[in-house]
Structure 1
Amino acid sequence: MGDLSLVTVIIIAANVIISYKGFGDYGFFERYKFNVGSIRRGEQFRMFSSGFLHVDTTHLLLNMLTLYFFADRVIFSVGEFNFIVIYIISLILGSLFSLYFHQDEYQYSAVGASGAVTGILYSAILLDPSMSLYLFFIPIPIPAYVFGIGYMLYSIYGMKNSIGNIGHDAHFGGAIGGLVVTLIMVPTLFKTDLLMIGLLIIPIVILFVMHKMGKI
């Protein structure tokens, strides 16, 4: 990777600053987190603000590392403005997805940049299917699409087992946002990377099938 773009630095900094504010200020965290009851009472701003809060340092680090790995690949391909569009739409769709899955659970709460980051992840994989990652604990390159699909399958596990105060559902809304918006911006991908599109859709299809069967 080359130097991080200013846009990526600003987004990471915003997540770090707002998250650490939330770590030390319970009232702030409660005011801006995703909460179904509060949103249904009219506080729709939580659907955006919750995307900059995190449960703890580990949660923040995971999301920001994922953004670090993939953000500039998207910016290189579609430009900074379109990157911001993908990020914001993925964030909002992630929140809408969570609201859909938990619309009758008024106490349900979640935080995290998961939706936005997963949207960028999916966008980057579509734009550069040959990408590979070197993770700290695995000494061989991992194809980015393997990481992406594994990330989503873990999200299904997280949803099914209600792991943490993390918006696992938002990963899927974000993935759909990143997938759809990128394909709209770069429609030639339908001709050049149809197989990759199909592979990335697999976890989304699995989720909807499990939901239809009542398993999530």
Structure 2
Amino acid sequence: MNIGVIIIIVISLISIAGFSRPELIYKYQFNAWQIKNRKEYIRWISHGFFHADWVHLAINMFVLWSFSKAVIYYFMRSLPGNSSIVFLVFFFSAIVASSTFSYFKEKNNYNYNAIGASGAVSAVVFASILYDPFRIIYLYFIPIPGIVLGIGYLVYSRIMSKRNVDNIGHDAHFWGAVYGFVFPILLNPSLLGHFFNELLAIF
């Protein structure tokens, strides 16, 4: 059983427990005001283990399952250290990194709350795009090259973040995606050259 599946099982079990125990979500959801003023730093990580409902959980875990195995393989081939441990560090640091912008944006807003592993899942998807930018990703059963979907995703997340018309954490999606692209490059800068070589290979 690879580390991606273990993460999925753990997050699923905790999320399911949270469905019937709202006090858990209240205690562990991301709230920048609580982190700043009450020093509840565990919220940086713990909010990624809870989801709003079955659909929210199912989508995130399905996407994570779809991409984690490939990313772990890529890490094994290109990054130093044990690939499972590196992926574990990558995933949970992505939860923190994807929420950092929201922390500074909402640190004086007591009413801002967020849950879900979407930011970290976005990081996994974009790590996959770094390694294989033309891998086909299916969006509503429509095949789209990863790099095309990725650019569209970033633009959409940025626009929706500025509009702020729904309860979706578009900032976390955007910065999680950026982190997913940058993290492997920080450990192996040659991957940036690999990415551009992959892009140029089609010409």
- Compute the TM-score of the two structures, normalised by the length of structure 1: 0.79
Are 2:123 and 1:119 equivalent residues in the alignment? yes
CA shift for structure 1 position 107: 1.5
Identity among equivalent pairs (%): 39
Are 2:41 and 1:44 equivalent residues in the alignment? yes
| Structure 2 equivalent of residue 75 of structure 1 | 72
| Structure 1 equivalent of residue 164 of structure 2 | 161
Whether the aligned pair in 1 keeps the contact of 2:94 and 2:119 (CA below 8 Å) is yes
For structure 1, the residue ranges without an aligned partner over 5 or more in a row are 198-216
CA distance in 1, matches of 2:51, 2:153: 18
Q: Between 151-160 and 92-101, report the one with greater CA deviation.
A: 151-160
Q: Secondary structure at the match of 2:91?
A: helix
Q: Secondary structure at the match of 1:153?
A: helix
| Structure 1 equivalent of residue 154 of structure 2 | 152
CA distance in 2, matches of 1:104, 1:63: 29
Amino acid paired to 2:98: G
Whether the aligned pair in 1 keeps the contact of 2:2 and 2:69 (CA below 8 Å) is no
Q: Secondary structure at the match of 1:133?
A: strand
Amino acid paired to 1:71: S
Whether the aligned pair in 1 keeps the contact of 2:48 and 2:115 (CA below 8 Å) is yes
CA distance in 2, matches of 1:45, 1:30: 13
Amino acid paired to 2:28: Y
Among 12, 35, 39, which residue is 2:8 paired with? 12
Pair 172,153 (structure 1): closer, same or farther in 2 beyond 3 Å: same
Q: CA RMSD in A?
A: 2.1
Q: Secondary structure at the match of 1:64?
A: helix
